[in-house]
Amino acid sequence: MLHVRQRRLALRLFIAPVAFAIAPSPVVAQDRKTVRVVVGFPASSISDIVARLIAPDLGLALGRNAIVDVKAGADGQIAAQDVMRQPPDGSTLFVATNSPLQAVPAMRQPPPYDPVVDFSHIGYIGRYVHFLLVAQDTPFGNVAELLSYARANPGKLNIANGATFQKVASAQLLSDTQTQMNEVNYKGEPAALTDLVAGRVQVMICSQGVALEFLKEKRVRALAVNATRRSPYAPDIPTLQEVGLKPFEVVPWVALIGPPGMPVELIEQLNRALRKTMARADIKEQLERIGIEPGVSSAAELRQMVIDQLKIWQRNVKSLGLAS
């Protein structure tokens, strides 16, 4: 039932047919391949929703049809390895997140790939907003009450992790607050949220796009938001900083990536198409609704962000003892 609700949420956010080609650009002239826009997480995940928002415009920019190809599993590693093996002709693109591009190479030894040299960096899309959630049947009305109970009852609460960002964020939260909870790992946020709603776990750090409908229906409660400002879709929820907690150092982001060796002209063409798409008021609104703070960048700026964030991930993974 929850999976159906998540699908309905995704469909309500946008109804956009995949557009057919306009005249081919010089970069990809006469190449009529379909563009595969790959995502590494299940349907109705943040990356899946973003991919379906931007795919039609990317297809138009390349003079091709565009389809979204879900290759979920292994924190996005399966999708990333598929993309890095494809020809650099624009026929395969990757709506990537911090999980495959930073968490996987930081947490798995040896790293299965290099996120800097094994991919072409096209453009930044934005960063996620996450809520600190508790189950509806818990007595916690604010973060102080949650932490007070956790300190008095070590190991009595279960905290759900639906993705690698949540795993690192949960570990940082427990370390910073000197609390002990049982971490329960899931293969995606929808499955973790299912157990939170059912009360099988009591705490979860969850992206806004997945959590928002359940907050509105009062099926879970949010105690704080990990953002620089309060969410316009949940303005009563304070930020982590407002409740006296340190914001999570690792940044959950989403960006457009390609296989290694893409021509500069093609990267620039796709970057322009992405910027044009991101400038649309309807796209901005839909991104914000699913908890993404939109942003744009050049390919070089995205590459530098990947480098900088990888260093932060590596430092945090080491200090929190999360390397595998």
pLDDT of amino acid 32:
57
What three-state secondary structure class fits 266?
helix
- Range from 75-84, 224-233, 300-309 carrying the lowest mean pLDDT: 224-233
Q: Domains for the chain: give ranges and CATH numbers.
A: 2-127+250-320 (3.40.190.150), 130-226 (3.40.190.10)
Q: Which residue has the tokens 């996987």?
A: 104
Average pLDDT value for residue range 245-257: 89
Identify the burial level of 254 via C-beta atoms within 10 angstroms of its C-beta, where 0-12 means exposed, 13-18 middle and 19 or more buried: buried
Q: What is the pLDDT of residue 322?
A: 79
- Choose between 267 and 8: higher pLDDT: 267
Structure tokens at 261: 């060796």
Q: Retrieve residue 128's tokens.
A: 């996620």
| Average model confidence (pLDDT) across the chain | 87
Asked if 38 contacts 79 with a C-beta cutoff of 8 angstroms, the reply is yes
pLDDT, position 18? 36
pLDDT at 273: 92
Helix boundaries (H) for the chain: 2-13, 46-62, 77-84, 98, 104-107, 143-152, 164-177, 189-198, 208-216, 264-278, 281-289, 299-320
Q: What is the pLDDT of residue 20?
A: 31
pLDDT tens-place string over residues 99-125: 999 999 999 989 999 999 999 999 999
For residue 137, what pLDDT is reported? 95
